[in-house]
Amino acid sequence: MQYTVVERELELRMVLSSERSVPVPARLTYRTDDPYAVHIAFHIGSEQPVYWTFARELLVEGVFRPCGHGDVRVWPSTRDGRGVVLMALSSPDGDALLEAPAEQVSAWLERTLRAVAPGAEGEQLGIDDGLAELLA
């Protein structure tokens, strides 16, 4: 089966305090064979990148309003007059607050939404076809 990958390299900022942040190169990935999820690889200087996967819907909503709870929370903000998207990530290994340029995240999300429209994710998985086959 053929699928589409929508990727974007960008530089995030890991917020260490209100005055201090460090650059974190990252890659956003969306795959039409996993249509509900977004994948982010953070290159933090370790041998392997750190990977996070969460709902695309969470990132889409988080560009406009605070959303999420638990391990992933996303909300819009501004820094030095520019729009940013903040992502608070929590895991047993620790917590991170990351800041992404809103314009770049929104442009990438727009490409993912053109690849698979909101509400059409289930069609990508062929669940209906599989169910029909099972019930035949």
Average pLDDT, the chain: 90
Are 108 and 8 spatial neighbours (Cβ–Cβ below 8 Å)? yes
State the pLDDT at residue 121: 82
Domains plus CATH for the chain? 5-131 (2.30.31.20)
Tell me which DSSP letter residue 2 carries: -
Distance CA 112, CA 80 (A): 28
| Predicted structure pTM score | 0.85
Are 24 and 98 spatial neighbours (Cβ–Cβ below 8 Å)? yes
Q: What confidence tens digit (pLDDT) does each residue in 58-90 have?
A: 999 999 999 998 899 999 999 989 999 999 999
State the pLDDT at residue 58: 95
Q: Does residue 128 carry a pLDDT above 90?
A: no
Are 66 and 73 spatial neighbours (Cβ–Cβ below 8 Å)? yes
Copy the structure tokens of residue 84: 């940013």
